[in-house]
Amino acid sequence: MVDAQGHAGLHERARTSHLEQDEEVVGAHRPDPSRARSGPCICAQASRLSRHCAHPAGHPRWAVECSASRDARHTGRRRSQARTPRRKQHLMRIGWIGLGNMGAPMSGRLVAAGHEVHGYDLAEAAREAAAAQGVTIEDTVAATVAGADVVVTMLPNHGIVTAVLDGPDGVLAHAEPGAVVIDSSTIDIDAARSLHASVSAAGFRFLDAPVSGGISGAAAGTLTFMVGGDEAVLEEVRPVIEVMAGRIFHTGGPGNGQAAKLTNNMMLGITLAATAEGAVLAERLGLDARTFWDLAQVSSGDSWALRTWYPVAGVVDTAAVNRDFTGGFATALLRKDLELALAAGRSTDTALPFAAAVRDRMDQLVELGLADRDCSVLVKLVDGELSSPARDEAVAATLSQETSA
């Protein structure tokens, strides 16, 4: 509910928004002597702070305005409205399951947009982070999805997603009939298609809608959504997704959102490896890290990994190297996504040797106990700060080949 003070604030925002449109128009104005009085003026030449213009007598605010300014103001308002069309937003009750590094900021943006969001997660730290952003924390899945128009899952793997949706105390057992279920986890393509079938059979609508853009994109509301499923269902929930998204792509039928995401993340893993190797080589060649990054991002070596995750401290604010590789996109998750991409390659008879090589590097990092560290910790394998038997063998084999050549 909005109290009296809140209503006053709404009226004040409405009033000042008109002023902001009015003040876009700058031009000559002429007072109307028949209506001149003392007091502040609302013509376009008036300062937003002082509310006075150049008129000797001025005008009472909202009571009178010079004719030229009034005409110009209405023209400017029409122009401003044409530039900034707004979609009418229908506020919804949303159940959110999975409040981790991505889920907390994504659900928090929905709260900020006015939606009623109830969230669930097993981890206390995740619950606290989401609660700090206004999410109502529930103790059970049943309470989280009760009365929800939309249910969103953001979970580590397809086994957990399936259990949360299809389990005896899961979403399908307690959600409102007809609710839309959106899975934004990154899972196996066949698993996603199976969920489309089971969720639909239970009387609900389903979209597989994984995202790209990382934690920074989740916080900024600039994620790319790749959506598989019925396009009419997507249009129904588009106003909800738009709050979290910079771009939304309908990629086709069931499972196609996951197909796009796995292909994209496979490419991310490969470009991350190239970026780590390039960063180490540039440093050993005596290049200044910031200068090299500046030139690479506007040259043919550019990539999202380079711009966002460059693994040299102090070069890119969003890079995990600045926080000792804590948080971010976990090594174990990239390893999982690469394995899923390789499985898709096998099912389509597609050779993916570069993806396999990066998956092997992720395996080495997991063996070294770095499964929960950001995957850009790969740079420590490249520069030799970390070592594993597999890495040592790979380096020795590479050097042997170069020497024989």
Residues noted as catalytic: 261
Separation CA 145–CA 162 (nearest Å): 16
Q: How many C-beta atoms lie closer than 10 Å to residue 104's C-beta? A: 27
Closest CA to 376 of 306, 317, 293, 315: 306
Provide the Cα torsion 291, 294, 299, 300; round to 10°: 90
CB 216 within 8 A of CB 308: yes
State the chain's maximal CA–CA distance in angstroms. Answer: 97
The burial of 56, by beta-carbon neighbours within 10 Å (0-12 exposed, 13-18 middle, 19 or more buried), is given as: exposed
Give the type of residue at 82. A
CA angle 387, 393, 398 (to 5 degrees): 110
DSSP for residue 229: S
Nearest to 95 by CA among 162, 165, 168: 165
DSSP 200: H
DSSP codes joined into one string, 161-196: HHHHHHSTTSHHHHSPTT-EEEE-S---HHHHHHHH
- How many helices (H) and strands (E) the chain has is answered by 17, 9
